[in-house]
Structure 1
């Protein structure tokens, strides 16, 4: 890796207790790369108007401004809200972040879709903690992007903090279930699910790609910053592949 330090800015849901420690764990021992976090309030995931309004750009952009003060090299909205709000929301958000800060930007949803396309997956399984209606909406949004879910599992939860309490064993069970239905890639679609450490071993055992949202967001953000994604190869096969969509 270049000796030039890379600073990665992560816009983080306030009640998320997973993505910050997992990102730092992944970067432990990776020379010259640091992650920096800025929070805004998110407590519930549902299709209710109040829950949807949590993700208004007017409350997210100030978090990006604070990250820019740390002179980060790239900024990610490290959350998956566009998977039910529509991918256009994240594209507009990234444009707004870069216009305000001059820093290139990405999001978890854009990174996950990019990762699926990059590895050429054809039968994608979606694993999430969300409610039935949110999961159905996610399926519709991803289908609009040309990725029709082949299989899915979800937990029916809506309290965002509770997602971080889901055990890795429960996440593994869902990954195994969608893999057993013939998925060739499994997306763990929530940055408050502790699944990143499962990817490498399950990929080898099941011969499927495991695309954890926290890991994939880090993959895309580090690449956007000009860092060496290969330094994280032990965390899954996605780190052996460069993104095809810029």
Structure 2
């Protein structure tokens, strides 16, 4: 829900989607986004189905996925799985690709900070999501 809120705030209609999921899960995510007016114009998934393995996805694999999706020039890219180690790499990806990247774990933290009235700018290193004051 936090990611959806952020996409709405930023007016994102063309999304890139990166996940570790299997095709049927990825396709359901894409369908759900389409139902709220967000088109996934590019996606990359790894066909992994067990939760523990999500956490073992390497940074180099995520680099490759993000690079592949960025080629389509979406308005934003979502790294979509709370068990991926992606949040700490978002700033670098945004510099490399010039595209806002929203990690699902980071968007939850962003939302919590807003809910407790703490300026998200107090968190550094997780991308431009945290550079705009509330």
Q: How does 1:1-246 map to 2 (within 5 A)?
A: 110-241=1-132
Q: Distance in 2 between matches of 1:147 and 1:159?
A: 27
Task: Note if contact 2:13-2:37 (Cα within 8 Å) is conserved in structure 1.
Answer: no
- Could you list the runs of 5+ residues in structure 1 that have no partner in the other structure? 1-109
Q: Offset of 1:226 from its aligned partner?
A: 1.4
TM-score by length of 2: 0.93
Q: May I ask how many residue pairs the two structures share in their alignment?
A: 134
SS at 1:172 equivalent: helix
Question: Cα distance, 1:116 vs. partner?
Answer: 1.4
1:127-172 Cα deviation digits (max 9, x unpaired): 1111111111111111111111111000001101110000111111
Give the Cα separation in 2 of the matches to 1:239 and 1:215: 9
SS in 1 for 2:18: strand
What is the root-mean-square deviation in Å for CA atoms of aligned residues? Answer: 1.4
Larger CA Rg, structure 1 vs 2: 1
Query: Runs of at least 4 residues of structure 1 off by over 3 A?
Result: none
TM-score of the superposed pair, with normalisation by structure 1: 0.52
Q: Distance in 2 between matches of 1:145 and 1:242?
A: 26
Structure 1 CA distance, aligned partners of 2:42 and 2:68?
A: 9
Contact 2:88 2:125 in 1 (8 A): no
Query: Secondary structure at 1:150's aligned position in 2?
Result: strand
CA distance in 2, matches of 1:155, 1:181: 18
Contact 1:118 1:241 in 2 (8 A): no
Cα 1:242/1:141, change in 2 over 3 Å: farther
